Amino acid sequence: MTTTHPPAARRLLEGKAAIVSGGASGIGRATATLLAREGADVTIADLNAEQGAAVVREIIAAGGKAAFEKTDVSRAADCLRVVESVTARCGALHILATCAGIIRRFSVVDLAEEDWDAMMAVNAKGAYLLSKFAVPSMTRNGGGAIVHIASDWGINGGRNAAGYCASKGAVVLLTKAMAIDHAAQGIRVNCICPGDIDTPMLRAESAQLGQSDAEFIAACSNRPLGRVGRPEEIAQAVLYLVSEASSFVTGIAHLVDGGANAGSM
């Protein structure tokens, strides 16, 4: 008797090349890992070479394709280099996910100018610079998909986070403007606005505010679903927005926040 097996499911991103900034940790790491699992050849663009290389090794050990490029997303030369490197190595660039981000928890009065500049440089300028060089590459190859990681605080303000809110609000409107400008080139541009996600960056906020991790995470869990999110849950939203499942979706700010913005808390 002959045993037949159903054909293996086709991976969603087979043959695609992707750049994930901030891919060494947190949401970026989860995103890089998931996109690779779905068949993408992923380049992690991050300043942390040790952690970035570790993620690449994990992806390759699991049968995926990955590379690391040490990248300061606030520097045009670095962003151009990583886009050119991926295009040369893979023949094309199809996906960009800008996950690099930093936060400093201060009101506008207490926020140091250098901290304002740093958040704008990484959170907003980094998304702009990578897009600036990714869009022409994608255009030459018939289009692509870009997903910026913004924040629910890019839509609604938060306490003691003036510079962060401003930088993420800039990312939300950058997304919408890019979606309008580049639709004709076959490039879809969306952003994800996460609520509190259990990442090293979130836990670093507790120290900035003088709270214990447990106290801080408990406060962040005050939302309808009663918990903070996981990086993998944001990665799943990225996967949807870069895959053909969202082929008619562009210019959105997609909240993934456990219901925090569903009503008055």
CATH number, domain with residue 148: 3.40.50.720
Mean pLDDT, residues 96-113 taken together: 97
Whether residue 110 lies inside any domain: the answer is yes
Percent of the chain exceeding pLDDT 90 equals 86
| Inter-CA distances, 171 with 21, 131, 148, 178, Å | 14, 11, 7, 10
Classify residue 123 by its DSSP letter. Answer: I
Q: What number of other Cβ atoms are within 10 A of residue 114's Cβ?
A: 9
- Of the pLDDT bands very low, low, confident and very high (cuts 50, 70, 90), residue 259 is very high
pLDDT of 8? 59
The rounded distance, in Å, linking the Cα atoms of 33 and 31 is 5
Task: Answer yes or no: is 123 within a domain.
Answer: yes
Distance CA 94, CA 92 (A): 6
Q: Which two tokens stand for residue 214?
A: 């447990």
Tell whether 204 is covered by a domain. no
For residues 224-242, average pLDDT: 97
Confidence of residue 3 (pLDDT cuts 50, 70, 90): low
Helix, strand, or coil here: 182? helix
In a domain, 35, yes or no: yes
Number of residues in the chain: 265
pLDDT category of residue 202 using cuts at 50, 70 and 90:
confident
Please give the positions annotated as active site.
Answer: 164
Which residue is it, tokens 């300043």? 47
Give the pLDDT of residue 213. 82
Is pLDDT above 70 for 264?
no
Asked if the structure places residue 224 within a domain, the reply is no
Find out whether 229 and 26 touch, Cβ atoms under 8 Å: no
**What pLDDT band is residue 207 in, cutting at 50, 70 and 90?**
confident
Task: Please report the pLDDT score of residue 265 as a whole number.
Answer: 45
In-domain check, residue 8:
no
Average model confidence (pLDDT) across the chain: 94
* pTM (two decimals): 0.94
* DSSP E strand boundaries for the chain: 17-21, 41-46, 65-70, 95-98, 144-149, 187-194, 253-256
pLDDT bucket at 212, cuts 50 / 70 / 90: confident
Domain count, the chain: 1
Distance between CA 160 and CA 170 in Å, rounded? 18
HSE (side-chain half, CA atoms, 13 Å) at 240 = 15
Q: Print the domain residue range for 173.
A: 17-196+230-256
Is 202 inside any structural domain? no
Q: Could you count the other beta carbons within 10 Å of the beta carbon of residue 117?
A: 13
Is 207 within the bounds of a domain? no
Other beta carbons within 10 Å of 233: 16
CA–CA dist 43, 158 (Å, integer): 33
